Chains A and B, each alone.
Chain A
Amino acid sequence: MKSFDKKFEKIRRYEEEEKFYLASQWQLIWWKFKKHRPAVTGAIVLGILYILAIFCSFFSPYLATDIFDEYLSAPPQIIRIYSRDNGFQRPFVYGIKKERDPITLRLRYPLDFTKKYTIKFFVKGKPYKFLGLFPTDIHLFGINDGNVFLFGTDDMGRDIFSRVLYGSRISLSIGLVGVFISFLLGLIIGGVSGYLGGAVDNFIQRTIDFLISIPTLPLWMALAAALPRDWTIIKTYFAITIILSLVGWCGLARVVRGKLLSLREEDFTIAARLAGASEWRIITRHLLPSFASYLIVSITLSVPNMILGETALSFLGLGMQEPAVSWGVLLQGAQNLTVVAQQPWRILPCTFVIIAVLAFNFLGDGLRDAADPYAR
């Protein structure tokens, strides 16, 4: 009986090994990636963030442009499930009263414990167009006859939470668009550099050396400053993306060139060449697939830089401008000490920035480990 068990165990192990050797490269990458828990978490978090961004008008209780002039700079309302008189109950928020501080004459919004608003789901709110196509007025959550400001309001009385969700459209997409542009530039320039070699390669490499050794932010600031202020949101958006990509392509070009140079000498490339394959076929069929995984890694790791670049520029007032909404634009209001001191909730949008960047970094780190699945 025992020897049978042992045999069975052995067969199982063989099968497993066979599975390993038969698996395609992408399958191996997937297996290895699955084991990297922070990376999987990062991927899930990013999935949620992008879903929130795409359906922001549904998930946010209000529209980004809704103004509640009764509540200027109101503090966040906390969702509670316990009240002193009722014990545990469905999630609710207390109402807020408005009064003036007798000494400083500043507006204050203390909690009104007599008013309780239960959070309702799928409530009717302001009408909007779902995905910009279907007119509807259903919001995921909200309260009837009262207001819920999860992140408080800004000095014009707009709900910061809703604005953060709306802002994620620009902030999260600019990362992807920017990386896409840098990716194209990096692929073409790096490819040319690695493939042609010689003087061209030397020139491109020196250019990259140069670009990565100058401080990017002052350069970005100076370039962004030259953008005309009366441009439309779309125009500014693309201009900012291009400014960010001007430096972003360098890293990718290096990866492409390095891999091309080493793969060009590999046996399978020489074999393909000897078999009479054309240069184009060698590049697209043999070289590109072999370093695609490395490209994905460096793309993932360069997205956070783009997001941070946009946030920094908009935060300084040089990137996206009102009425555009992005995380940086939202933080712009919190630039000086007085605002931070009196309305600390104005820096809440930065939690989203940090979460997004952290998630991309974890994801990229996991992908880097998985990218080379043969190194065990």
Chain B
Amino acid sequence: MLGFIIRRLLLFIPLLFVVSIVSFVIIQLPPGDFLTSYIMQLKATGTDVSQETIQSLVKVYGLDQPMYIQYISWIKNIILRGDFGRSFQWNKPVKEVIGERIALTVVISLLTICFTWIIAVPIGIYSATHQYTLFDYFFTFLGFIGISIPGFLLALIILWIAHTHGYNVTGLFSQEFIESPWSIAKIIDMLKHIWVPIIIIGLSGTAGLIRVMRATLLDELRKQYVITARAKGVPERKLLFKYPVRLAISPLISTIGWMLPGIISGETLVSIVLSLQTTGPVLLRATMLQDMYLAGSFVLILSALTLTGTLISDILLAWVDPRIRYGGLGE
């Protein structure tokens, strides 16, 4: 087990490296460098920029250095000081802009995963044990709809329906809590708002999970050991939950790996529509204004988080299912 974890961790480091390169390339992509845009921004707001300031800024950001040195100093600042560069749109270090928002995105994503599991597993079990019944067809149909309607369109539709009934579903907090520091009351207020985005983001994942759960459980139920147990007179309920359900749930753990990128993407979009206080709206504005340090940092952090999630789900899976540890399954 330890060997497996070490192997996975070793594989994880080059991935992080690639992610950082991708993010760095994104930061460098727009024509002209970040400083030119920054100076233009300053000039547009009426601040006069002297030649000396420009010189010193060039030094600070190392813009006179070759590309690879710029990359190294960028990554060094991130690792050693948690300094992701500066957002000229907010005129603040990137770290201060995104810290809380990333945390809220993580909270919403984790809760969404929990939500999809809580909904999908029982429905999957029901569909598999009541194959070809009315409810099975109903859930299959619902699953198709869930996969086909993208989150942001659903969010738009829900926004409108809620409005016609006099509700407001935008935002994560009530007006009076937006600027206030964290407190129990603020958390309770957040929980009152958070379920709408969770349901919207979780819908397509839930639909997918129901299908996986139903298919794997059906496979398990057809196996010899189930028939043997039934022949020996094990009661149906125990027969179902003792082994087949447990076996069918274990591949679901690996689904965290492929669900997470989708959930983060979905969260980004839905949070823009519902104007949540998470990463989406800030990322959108950053990309609109070509505030590339901010945009690149978002890509870096969100990707790194997703990779970490996948890593954890892989390790969990290996822990639950010894066949994976010894490289038996999956290859």
User: Measuring CB to CB, which residues of chain A are less than 8 angstroms from any residue of chain B?
Assistant: 206, 210, 212-219, 221-226, 228, 304, 308, 311-312, 315-318, 331, 334-337, 340-341, 344, 347, 350, 353-354, 357-358, 361-362, 365
Contact = CB atoms under 8 A, between A and B. Distances in A.
A358 B144 contact: yes
Given A212-B258, A216-B261, A224-B287, A350 B153 contact: yes
Contacts of A308: 150
A222 B298 contact: yes
A215 B275 CA distance: 20
Contacts of A357: 148-150
B264 to A, nearest CB: 4
Contact of B268 (A214, A217, A225, A347): A217
A214 B160 contact: no
B26 interface: yes
Contact of A214 (B153, B284, B303): B303
B191 interface: no
B296 interface: yes
Interface in B240-270: 257-258, 260-262, 264-266, 268-269
B216 interface: no
B288 A210 contact: no
Given A225-B295, A347-B160, A210 B18 contact: yes
Given A215-B268, A216-B261, A221-B295, A226 B307 contact: no
A186 B157 CA distance: 36
Contacts of A334: 156
Given A221-B284, A225-B288, A337-B170, A358 B299 contact: no
Contact of B156 (A215, A219, A304, A350): A350
B273 A335 contact: yes
Contacts of A318: 284, 287-288
Nearest to A353: B153
Nearest to B264: A215
A213 B156 contact: no
B295 A212 contact: no
A316 B147 CA distance: 21
B20 to A, nearest CB: 12
A242 B279 CA distance: 25
B209 to A, nearest CB: 16
Given A219-B303, A222-B287, A214 B149 contact: no
Given A315-B152, A361-B147, A218 B283 contact: yes
Contact of A218 (B15, B163, B290, B298): B298
Given A216-B261, A350-B156, A316 B148 contact: no
Contacts of A341: 160, 163
A210 B19 CA distance: 9
B22 interface: yes
A212 to B, nearest CB: 7
Contacts of A317: 284, 288
Contact of B160 (A221, A340, A353): A340
B68 to A, nearest CB: 20
Given A218-B268, A218-B298, A219-B303, A225 B287 contact: yes
B78 interface: no
B19 A214 contact: yes
A171 to B, nearest CB: 13
A214 B307 contact: yes
A304 B153 CA distance: 14
B159 interface: yes
A311 B286 CA distance: 20
A344 B298 CA distance: 32
Contacts of A347: 153, 156-157, 160
B125 to A, nearest CB: 23
6 contacts: A210-B19, A214-B22, A224-B287, A316-B269, A316-B272, A350-B157
Interface in B141-188: 144-145, 147-150, 152-153, 156-157, 159-160, 163-164, 168, 170
Given A212-B261, A213-B307, A304-B148, A221 B268 contact: yes
A214 B148 contact: no
Given A217-B265, A316-B284, 12 more contacts: A213-B258, A215-B265, A215-B302, A218-B268, A221-B295, A222-B295, A226-B26, A226-B30, A304-B148, A318-B288, A340-B156, A358-B144
